Structure 1
Amino acid sequence: MAKNDLITRFLIWRLRHLSNQSFILILSGIIGVLSGLAAVILKEAVHSIQIFLTEDFYTEYANFMYILYPLIGITAAYLLGRYVFKDVGGHGIPDVLFTISKKNSIIARVKTFSRVVTSALTVGFGGSVGLEAPMVVTGSAIGSNVGSLVHLNAKNRTLLIGCGAAGAISAIFGAPIGAVIFAIEVILLEISTTSFIPLLIASVMGSLTSLILIGNDSLFNFNLTETFMASHMPYYLLLGMVCGVVSLYFSRMVRSTERFLEAFDNQSMKMLYGGAFLGFMVFFFPPIYGEGYNTLNILIEGNPAEILETSPFFSAFDSPYLFLVFLLLIIVLKPIASAITLGSGGSGGIFAPSLFVGGILGFAFAYAKNQLGFHIPLPLAHFTLVAMCGLMSGVQHSPLSAIFLIAEITGGYELFIPLMFVSAISYLTTSYFQKDSLYTLQLKDQGKTLESSRDQELLSLINISHVIEKDLHPIHPDARLSELISLVKISKRNIFPVVDDSKHLRGIITLDDIREIMFDEAKQNTVLIRELMHSPPEILFTTENMQSVMDKFEKSGAWNLPVIMDGEYVGFISKSRIFNAYRNKLIRQKLGQRN
């Protein structure tokens, strides 16, 4: 009670002394700091666990603990999520998108900390997923719950969710511009100019929090020494197309693997088989362990031989072609490993795996070309980074986020031209065959959909039960025309549902159907309603969403359609009623934006 009184007094003070815009700016800074702090805690926890588990491993021996670690991590994460937090891991960013679209941007409070713990265990013990998605969930949950605490509306809660996502990504990568664009391109989709400032503040505060707590300890530590050459552009064109194809493979393999795991009804068997299979993949291909960013740093720094040293099979060979086979197998296996980690009960996301696969692909592309020895040599670091951008663009359908994120983590804009080029080519190649991002496809696999436009978003807010009209007079199919005439005299509508004793809709009658005979006294007493009725052009059900309702109106060309619930007639819906409800929602949304 005392807590509620304190919040109430604060809100009253705020209304008197702070405008809504100023209040949002202050909240965005606070959320940026909290999201940055959560990102630092998660990143340091994962690195500490990994160092503790693997620092005594010898490169000259097979390290069999690689087989066991993922199973332990996935099991611990699932049990904590299932029985302690009541928040099992899985897809992070898709769930945030669905919450914004369908749940008025209200995220459960437990998500402000649950994913930090379960993701630390999953990734720290070798789960082949990334920390970015859990941090986006955590930051978004912080934004949503802060907004709910101070009684903000859904529109402002959504903006604070974007602030939390921007603060988390900025803290992880040290890329404030890329983080803002990611929040706009992936999380918020639509944003006004005034909403852009809070995202900037949150992103900057998240990055500053990370800098203050851990300094310049970024995910990628390297300096580009080679310059961009226009003569490399034909190779970047080819790389962009290859990135698009691999993006398709990545998305489809993740979804196929997840569907395969869903066939296991027993969660214990799912964790056992999934964890064991993942462990064996990590044992033979140690770069698959965890996020994999350390492997990319090794490649970018020009020490590719180091990634073979921990493999019990490939370390015995010293052949550039076998090394290429090793890299290609990692590209093939990483999406499977990521899907197994998530599908078995682990917590994480595919953000980092897509960057990892892109980096390996870019390095392998340039390395293979240089081994052939024709034309000019290609810079390995450049192609590694640019391909990371290409995969992120193709898998997540976020080309701008990919461009600015990689540009910032390289410490400059030396690669801006090839980043833009490869991102565009990869996106075009992928979207030609697959219109939706992996996040959207994962939601569709769960039977969930997102609104692709503001019109559809507003329609989704209209409850079908609120627009049903029940002022139409039903008539029995065995009634005579004279009884219908009596209803016409008192009805304000020109359509009459024909309903039997069991409340089943048998058909409809309109004034046009009886206009020519309604004044014929002989027919009034002899013609039955069942002889005049006809089927409606479409039937609506109370379980349908409003987009489906509008599709039926469009297809049928009707202005009024009957509604059925559990097989019984309940009323009609008219286009004009829907348009009126839509207009009211639009007015309320605009008033909410002004406030």
Structure 2
Amino acid sequence: MPGTEGERPRLGRALLSPPTPVPSEAHFRVVLISFLSAAVGLVAGVVAYALYHLIGFFSNLFFYHRISATFQSARDNHLGLLVILVPVLGGLIVGVMAKYGSPKIKGHGIPEAMEAVLVSRSRIEPRVAVLKPISAAIAIGTGGPFGAEGPIIQTGGALGSLVGQIFHTTAAERKVLLGCGAAAGMSATFNTPIAGVILAIELLLFEFKSRSFIPLVIASTLATAVHMRLLGPGPMFAVGPVDFGIPRALPFYLLLGGLCGLAAYAFSKSLYWVEDQFEKLPIDPLWWPAIGALILGVIGYFVPRVLGVGYDTIGDILHASLAWKLLLVVMFAKAIALIVSLGSGTSGGLLAPMFMSSAALGGLYAIGVNQIFPGAHLAPGAFALVAMGAVFGAASRAAFAFIIFAFEITRDYNAVLPLMLVTVIAEGIALLLMPKSSIMTEKLARRGLLIHQDYETDILEHVAVADTMDAEPPTLLETMRVREVADLIARHDTKVSKHQGIFIADSAGHLKGVLTRGDVLRSLDQDPSGETSVLEAGNRDLVLSYPDETLNQAAAKMLRHNIGRLPVVERSDPQALVGYLGRREVMAARLRRIEEEYVREPGWIARFRRQPVLGPDGKPAAPNAD
């Protein structure tokens, strides 16, 4: 079986020309992907700007009957009862686009981008990059209670994916470019470059490596620069100086964390419950968005603040400009409008509407505490801001991203402590109530996809072959006959029975080849006498491993060549056999990590109470033999 140069060297060739380390091509690929990410960031920034004004165009057209791209809130319209029909018209248009264009434009964008990474090898159809922002602009411009950030994240991700498909890239590189587009979209929408990078890492890439971090930062930075040039340097929500009441208000923040965790759970469960109800309707899915929009229109007639993105209302809440009764109405009305509309299968983002409802929750909480404890002097704007980041961070399992997000939109360092505390408490509660999924992954989990969002180092990347190999590999003398090996196997000789393949060496111990049980059977089939030498029956075209390689590199060789064992040799002498590495040795390292994770070791208290140490199965672990 001939091999390729550098991957599967023959022993003779390796002996004459020992492998020497060469610069990794991966480092040069990072530079290339970084250049491509710069283009993705610039384009995503422009697309975010275009989407912002496209929403303004449709809002002006449908609510004010004028041609203008200036962003205009829908709450100031004078349509009267006719306002109920405007969202219905938008829902019909989106329903038609989803049925005849692409069903992937439905939803809030981020789960669809995650699905592309997990299922489609980071490939997104070009039409999604066109239809998603247009459908979102129509849905939001006709009063949909959504944000533009989810669609622009998906659109930016689609742009990055398309760039990766145009050029000669790997699936991993396409994933990075998709993440760059998503991070750029988030950054260009809210002027939050750090949060954009972290969001892409937490929700899309599931890795923290230089190959992804460098391009992400470049794309996010350039997209933010586009935002600053076209929309101004300020954040989307201009929040003035706020008294966060640290440390005196910390006890009240603890309770707020619990409320935010419950709110995150309620949002997630309610949204997918509504989706389930629409799935049961005996009508064409084309009409679902129109039905949801009709309910939205009725709510919007009585509470105009729920129509559209609602950035102005979020700003009012953060500035504590709304009375508690209006906060209560806005909190429930926006949440219901969002859940019904998005659950019907239309197109729009979750971020802005959840920000509005959760900010109202935080403001109401502060006002309520001030009424009960007049001496508390809590700032409703501060609690609104903290709740805004905590609810979405807990619901999405992207707590770190939204701690940074809320900090970036205030640029007030005093916000960091309450943000950290409340967000992690909220996420902990949401994790207890929804341990297997989040508002971002529930849709994917229902399709049978397993999404692991915890970050840990790959143990195979941190263990050298020398640390786990069998340092006394069994060998067969090259002059042995196949019948002798067959006799050893029949007698269950420990030298050969525990391995599927045994290495062949000469009298000086130099590696010559490998003999597998399959080789023995084939040789006996051809020569029943078994007089063939093991060297003739075996394989001399070996894949070699080295003591200083990582287990990950060695395992990759096994998978690439579909073999279960590797001879470990010195780099300076490919015939100097120093070890045996099989699947068992590779999995032993993984088993050690599992034991570190689940096996509880005896502590001081256990010694006094004489309680057994529990293993992974919950049963007492066997004592160590000393």
Q: Distance in 1 between matches of 2:587 and 2:36?
A: 31
1:131 and 2:132 matched: no
**One-letter amino acid of the counterpart of residue 48, structure 1:** F
Q: Which SS does the other structure have where 2:243 is aligned? A: coil
Do 1:98 and 1:450's aligned partners in 2 also have CA atoms closer than 8 Å?
no
Distance 2:235 2:53 in 1: 11
The question of whether the paired residues in 2 share the 8 Å contact of 1:74 and 1:344 is answered with no
The residue aligned with 1:89 is: 106
Choose the corresponding residue for 1:36, options 45, 69, 74: 45
Tell me what 2:291 maps to: 273
- Work out the CA distance in 1 between the residues paired with 2:267 and 2:373: 30
Of 294, 301, 317, which aligns to 2:312?
A: 294
Structure 1 residues 81, 216: CA separation in 2 closer, same or farther (over 3 Å shift)? farther
Deviation (angstroms), 1:340: 2.5
TM-score by length of 1: 0.67
Deviations 1:288-333 (A, max 9, x none): 212222111112223215xxxxxxxxxxxxxx5xx1xx53344334
Which residue of 2 is the match for residue 116 of structure 1?
133
1:399 alignment counterpart: 399
CA change 1:165–1:369 in 2 (3 A) is same
2:7 counterpart residue number: none
Structure 1 residue 142: Cα displacement: 0.8
Equivalent residues in 2 for 1:218-257, closer than 5 Å: 218-226=235-243, 228-257=245-274
How many angstroms does 1:423 deviate by?
A: 0.7
Of 170, 176, 193, the match for 1:159: 176
Distance 1:58 1:441, change over 3 A: closer
Alignment partner, residue 439 of structure 1: 440
Which of 172, 193, 210 is the matching residue for 2:227?
Answer: 210
Change over 3 Å in CA distance of 1:247–1:451 after alignment to 2? closer
Worse overlay, 445-454 or 84-93: 445-454
Q: Distance in 1 between matches of 2:316 and 2:416?
A: 23
In structure 1, the partner of 2:280 is 263
AA aligned opposite 1:283 = Y
Aligned to 2:368: 368
Residues 33, 209 of structure 1: 8 Å contact kept? yes
Shift in Å, 1:167:
0.5
Residue 117 of structure 1 aligns to which amino acid in structure 2?
Answer: I
Q: Which amino acid counterpart does residue 43 of structure 1 have in structure 2? A: Y
1:241-291 CA distances to partner (integer Å, 9 max, x unpaired)?
A: 111111111111111111111111323542443221111112122222122
In 2 relative to 1, CA 277–582 (structure 1 residues): closer, same or farther, beyond 3 Å?
Answer: farther
User: Contact between 1:224 and 1:381, CA under 8 Å: does it hold in 2?
Assistant: no
TM normalised by structure 2 equals 0.64
Measure how far apart 1:373 and its partner are: 5.2
Query: Which residue of the partner structure matches residue 73 of structure 1?
Result: 90
Instruction: Please give the alpha-carbon distance, in whole angstroms, between the structure 1 residues aligned to 2:76 and 2:179.
Output: 43
Pair 352,579 (structure 1): closer, same or farther in 2 beyond 3 Å = farther
Matches within 5 A, 1:302-341: 302-304=320-322, 323=325, 326-341=326-341
Equivalent residue number for residue 187 of structure 1: 204
Unaligned stretches of 5+ residues in structure 2: 1-23, 66-73, 459-489, 491-580, 589-626
1:420 is aligned to 2:432: no
Which residue of structure 1 aligns with residue 408 of structure 2?
A: 408
In 2: Cα distance, 1:272 partner to 1:196 partner: 41
The answer to whether the aligner puts 1:381 opposite 2:381 as a matched pair is yes
Q: Is 1:22 the equivalent of 2:31? A: yes
- Give the superposition deviation at 1:76: 1.2
Q: Is the 8 A contact 1:78 1:88 kept in 2?
A: no
1:324-345: CA deviation from partner (whole Å, max 9, x where unpaired): xx53344334343223223334
Cα distance in structure 2, aligned partners of 1:58 and 1:430: 33
Deviation at 1:190, TM superposition (A): 1.4
Partner Cα separation in structure 2 for residue 147 and residue 159 of structure 1: 9
Q: 2: CA distance between counterparts of 1:208 and 1:58?
A: 31
Give the whole-Å Cα distance in 1 for the aligned partners of 2:302 and 2:362. Answer: 22
Tell me the CA shift for residue 53 of structure 1: 4.2
8 Å CA contact retained: 1:271, 1:345: yes
Q: Is the 8 A contact 1:73 1:122 kept in 2?
A: yes
SS of the residue corresponding to residue 250 of structure 1 reads: helix
- Farther off after superposition, 160-169 or 88-97: 88-97
Find the aligned partners of 2:187 and 2:587 in 1 and give their Cα distance: 37
Q: Is the 8 A contact 1:93 1:439 kept in 2?
A: yes
Structure 2 CA distance for aligned equivalents of residues 41 and 410 of structure 1: 25
Of 59-68 and 430-439, the range deviating more from structure 2: 59-68
Deviations 1:69-117 (A, max 9, x none): 2111111122233324565422421121122112111111112221110
Quote the Cα distance in structure 2 between the aligned partners of 1:26 and 1:175.
Answer: 21
Contact 1:243 / 1:387 at 8 angstroms: preserved in 2? yes
Aligned amino acid, residue 366 of structure 1: A
Aligned-partner SS, 2:413 = coil
Secondary structure of 1:415's counterpart equals helix
Query: Which residue identity is paired with 2:39?
Result: I
- Give 5+ residue unaligned stretches, structure 1: 1-14, 306-319, 458-488, 490-575, 584-595
Q: How much does 1:444 deviate?
A: 2.0
1:391-427 alpha-carbon deviations (Å, 9 max, x no partner): 0121111110010001001123221111111111111
Structure with greater Cα Rg = 2
Distance 1:390 1:377 in 2: 21
Residue 341 and residue 117 in structure 1: after superposition, are their counterparts in 2 closer, same or farther (change >3 A)?
Answer: same
Cα distance per residue 1:93-145 (max 9 Å; x no partner): 11211221121111111122211100000011111222111111111111111
Task: Indicate conservation of the 8 Å contact 1:144/1:158, yes or no.
Answer: yes
The separation in 2 between residues aligned to 1:166 and 1:127, in whole angstroms, is 24
Report how far residue 449 of structure 1 moved.
3.5
Q: Is contact 1:172-1:218 (8 Å) kept? A: no
Q: Mean Cα displacement is larger for which, 392-401 or 224-233?
A: 224-233
Query: SS where residue 151 of structure 2 aligns?
Result: helix
Residue type of the partner of 1:75? L
C-alpha distance in 2 between matches for 1:277 and 1:578: 59
**1:301 partner amino acid:** H
Distance 2:241 2:182 in 1: 29
Q: Does 1:356 align with 2:356?
A: yes
> Quick check: 2:80–2:301 contact (8 Å CA) kept in 1?
yes
Q: Displacement of 1:451 after TM fit?
A: 5.1
Provide the C-alpha distance between the structure 1 equivalents of 2:128 and 2:449, rounded to a whole number of angstroms: 20
| Corresponding residue number in structure 1 for 2:122 | 105
**Aligned equivalents of 1:34, 1:92: Cα separation in 2:** 18
* Partner AA of 1:41 in structure 2: A
C-alpha separation between the residues in 2 aligned to 1:224 and 1:241? 26
Three-state SS of the structure 1 residue aligned to 2:445 is helix
Q: For each residue in 1:478-526, what CA deviation from the matched residue of structure 2 results, as whole angstroms up to 9, or x when unmatched?
A: xxxxxxxxxxx9xxxxxxxxxxxxxxxxxxxxxxxxxxxxxxxxxxxxx
Distance 1:304 1:454 in 2: 41
Tell me the amino acid that sits aligned with residue 279 of structure 1. Answer: G
Q: How far off is 1:162 after superposition? A: 1.0
Q: CA separation in 2, counterparts of 1:102 and 1:28?
A: 22
C-alpha distance in 2 between matches for 1:174 and 1:89: 26
Q: Which residue of 1 aligns with 2:58?
A: 49
Q: From the superposition, tell whether residues 582 and 292 of structure 1 become closer, same or farther in structure 2 (CA, over 3 Å).
A: farther
SS where residue 438 of structure 1 aligns?
Answer: coil
Output one character per residue of 1:330-383: Cα deviation in whole Å (capped at 9) or x when no partner. 433434322322333421132222222211111111122233452221112111
- Cα 1:434–1:93 shift into 2, 3 Å: same
Which structure: greater helix fraction? Answer: 1
Residues 142-172 of structure 1 show CA distances to partners (whole Å, capped at 9, x for unaligned) of 1111011111000111111111111100000
